[in-house]
Structure 1
Amino acid sequence: MRELRALVERGFFFQHITDDGGEIVVVVGSYGWHGFYDRIHIWGESEAVAARERSDHRPFSGNVVWTVDGTTADVARAVLELPAPGTRGAPTIAKCAPNTLWFPRRATG
């Protein structure tokens, strides 16, 4: 998928999260900016969610300034189109994170 390749080319790091049986539950990509980080959770080809959070050195702290969900291609495209932090149009106001940004209890790193 060209959108995921574009995220890798931008510098996103991807890893998979498995359940106790070793099955992949979700693929997570992340990219750090100064003061923010972007992440995308891919549950399947038709289900993904992404967010930009303020970075306070506590992963998943809930300081989400932007989210989007939809198909993997649409979500990856939205991340690619999101203005860089500090530039015109970049989101800055924190809001509640959607539940889909949290890992299932059975998932292990």
Structure 2
Amino acid sequence: MSMESLAALVDRGFYFQAVPDEQGEIEVVVGSYGWYGYYDRIHVWGEDEAVAARELSDHRPFSGTVVWSYEGGAADTALALLELPKPGEPGAPTVARAAPSSLWLPLLSRRRRQ
């Protein structure tokens, strides 16, 4: 992820944490930011693989219901998340749908099930 994209997400108030695999190596870096009724998150698996989503907030870590998602390279995914209108603004997504499987954390991710 470019430093500019990472810095912009941090400036917006995103909190990041590394999630290790069973050997203690970083498997994914997860960033999240809460809004009233929603929260945004990004999972960075590598420079060329990331997923971001805006989820409906029901006070659980992962509701499984999103109103928006994007998958691509880390920099493009971060930029798409930064360009997403804030909840309540014109153009902000509101229609709920099932979250992509790539949003599950490592122990539940598609990488572990393969």
Bucket of the pairwise TM-score, normalised by the shorter protein: over 0.9
Structure 2 portions without partners, runs of 5+: none
Task: Report the counterpart of residue 86 of structure 1 in structure 2.
Answer: 88
Percent identity of equivalent pairs: 65
- Structure 1 residue 104, shift from structure 2 partner: 2.3
The one of 4, 16, 19 equivalent to 2:18 is 16
Q: Deviations over 1:50-90 (max 9, x none)?
A: 00001111121112000000000000000000000011000
Question: Matches of 2:29 and 2:82 in 1, distance apart?
Answer: 17
1:6-85 alignment runs, 5 A limit: 6-85=8-87
Structure 1 portions without partners, runs of 5+: none
Contact 2:28 2:106 in 1 (8 A): no
In angstroms, what is the RMSD of aligned CA positions? 1.3
- What SS is found at the alignment partner of 1:58? coil
Contact 2:30 2:44 in 1 (8 A): yes
TM-score normalised over the length of structure 1: 0.94
When you count helix as a share of all residues, which structure comes out higher? 2
Question: Matches of 1:87 and 1:102 in 2, distance apart?
Answer: 28
- What SS is found at the alignment partner of 2:98? coil
Deviating above 4 A after TM superposition, structure 1's stretches of 4 or more consecutive aligned residues are none
- What SS is found at the alignment partner of 2:8? helix
Instruction: Count residues in correspondence.
Output: 107
Question: Matches of 2:80 and 2:21 in 1, distance apart?
Answer: 28
